[in-house]
Amino acid sequence: MLDHPADEYTGPRTTLASVKPRVLRGFRFYGFGKRLIDLALVAVGGPFFLPLIMILVVLIRLDGGPALYLQPRIGRDGRIFRLWKLRSMVPNAETALATYLEGNPEARAEWDSAQKLRHDPRLTRLGGFLRRYSLDELPQLWNVLIGDMSLVGPRPMMPSQRLLYPGTAYYDLRPGLTGLWQIGERNGCNFAERAAYDNRYAQTISLGVDCAILFKTVNVVFRGTGC
C-alpha cells in the first residue's frame, strides 16, 4: 500500500515477460461478485473511514500545503487513472528526492531496485506516521467506489514504472488497495519481484483468497510495517 511519486525513471530497465500466467477460468464468474463485494464493503466502511479521513485532512492542512493529491497510475488493460492519496511529503518532493539520491549512492541503489526508500527524506513528521500505518491510502476507497481499483489486487504502479515490470498478469486485473505483496515482503523485495505476487494472485484468485488477504491486511496495518 506504499509508493512514491517519480516523474521519470532513469535506472535499469527490465524486459517484460511474454508469457501470460494462467488465470483461473472461475474468475470470469467471480469477477462480477468481486465488484459487488467491493461496493458493499466500501459502503459499510464509509461511515467510519470518512470522518477519519476528514480529521487527517485537517491535520495535514495545519502542517501546511494541500492535504490531498492525485497521481497517475496504470489500471486494468493499461488504462491510466488518477489515484487519490493523503499528502505525506514535503512540497517539491521530487526535487528533494533528486538532490538526496545524487549525494547518496546507497539510497540511489535502493531506489533503483525497489522504487522506494526505507528512510525517505521527503516525508513530513505526520507523513511518516501516515505511511507507517498506511493511512495515506484511505482516499483510494473512492477509486474503489468508482471502479478504478478493487479492495484486493496488484498494487497500482506508475506509468514511469511500466518498463520495470516483468509480467502481464497486472493488466488483467483491477489494481488493489491491498494484495499479496502488501501482506508479504513489501519492504523486502525489489520492484520487479512484485510480478511474482501478481502472477500468483491471478492464478489463485477467489473469494476465499480475497478474504484471507483482507484479514491479514488488518494485522499488517496495526503492526505499522509500512514505509
- Check residues 218 and 19 and name the one with the higher pLDDT: 218
For the full predicted model, state whether its pTM sits above 0.75: yes
Sign of the C-alpha dihedral computed for residues 167, 168, 171 and 174 taken in this order: negative
Task: Give the mean model confidence (pLDDT) for residues 124-141.
Answer: 90
Long-range CB contacts (within 8 A, 24+) of 182-188: 182/1, 182/2, 182/155, 182/217, 182/220, 183/213, 183/216, 183/217, 183/220, 186/1, 186/2, 186/225, 186/226, 187/118, 187/225, 187/227
Helix (H/G/I), strand (E/B), else coil: 87 = coil
What grid cell was written down for 201? 494472485
What pLDDT is attached to residue 26? 52
Q: How confident is the model at residue 80 (pLDDT cuts 50, 70, 90)?
A: very high
The per-residue pLDDT for range 54-66, each reduced to its tens digit, is: 999 999 998 878 8
CB crowding 27-59: b at 16 or more within 10 Å, else e: beebeeebeebbeeebeeeeeeeeeebeebbee
Give the chain's length: 227
pLDDT in tens, 15-27: 333 334 445 455 6
Overall average pLDDT of the 206-212 stretch: 94
Q: What mean pLDDT do residues 98-123 have?
A: 72
